[in-house]
Chain A
Amino acid sequence: QKEVEQNSGPLSVPEGAIASLNCTYSDRGSQSFFWYRQYSGKSPELIMFIYSNGDKEDGRFTAQLNKASQYVSLLIRDSQPSDSATYLCAVNEVLGGGADGLTFGKGTHLIIQP
Chain B
Amino acid sequence: GAVVSQHPSRVICKSGTSVKIECRSLDFQATTMFWYRQFPKQSLMLMATSNEGSKATYEQGVEKDKFLINHASLTLSTLTVTSAHPEDSSFYICSAASGGNEKLFFGSGTQLSVL
In the bound complex, what is the Cα–Cα distance between A41 and B45 (angstroms)? 16
The interface centre, meaning the residue of A43, A88, A96, A106 with most chain B CB atoms within 10 A of its CB, is A43
Asked if B100 contacts A101 (CB within 8 A), the reply is no
Q: Which chain B residues (65-108) contact chain A, with CB distance < 8 Å?
A: 91, 93, 97, 99-102, 104, 106-108
Task: Give the A-B contact count at a CB cut-off of 8 A.
Answer: 67
State whether the Cβ of B49 lies closer than 8 Å to any Cβ in chain A: yes
Asked if B93 contacts A99 (CB within 8 A), the reply is no
State whether the Cβ of A80 lies closer than 8 Å to any Cβ in chain B: no
Asked if A42 contacts B44 (CB within 8 A), the reply is no
Asked if B42 contacts A106 (CB within 8 A), the reply is yes
In the bound complex, what is the Cα–Cα distance between A43 and B99 (angstroms)? 19
- State the majority secondary structure of interface residues on A: loop
Given known contacts A49-B102, A96-B102, A98-B97, A103 and B46 CB-to-CB distance under 8 angstroms: yes
**Residues in B lying within 8 Å of A, measured CB to CB:** 6, 31-32, 34, 36, 41-46, 49, 59, 91, 93, 97, 99-102, 104, 106-109, 111
Given contacts A32-B100, A43-B109, A96-B100, 12 further A-B contacts (CB under 8 A): A8-B41, A32-B101, A34-B101, A34-B104, A43-B6, A43-B106, A44-B44, A45-B106, A92-B101, A99-B32, A101-B36, A102-B104
**Residues in A lying within 8 Å of B, measured CB to CB:** 4, 8, 32, 34, 41-46, 49, 88, 92, 94, 96-107
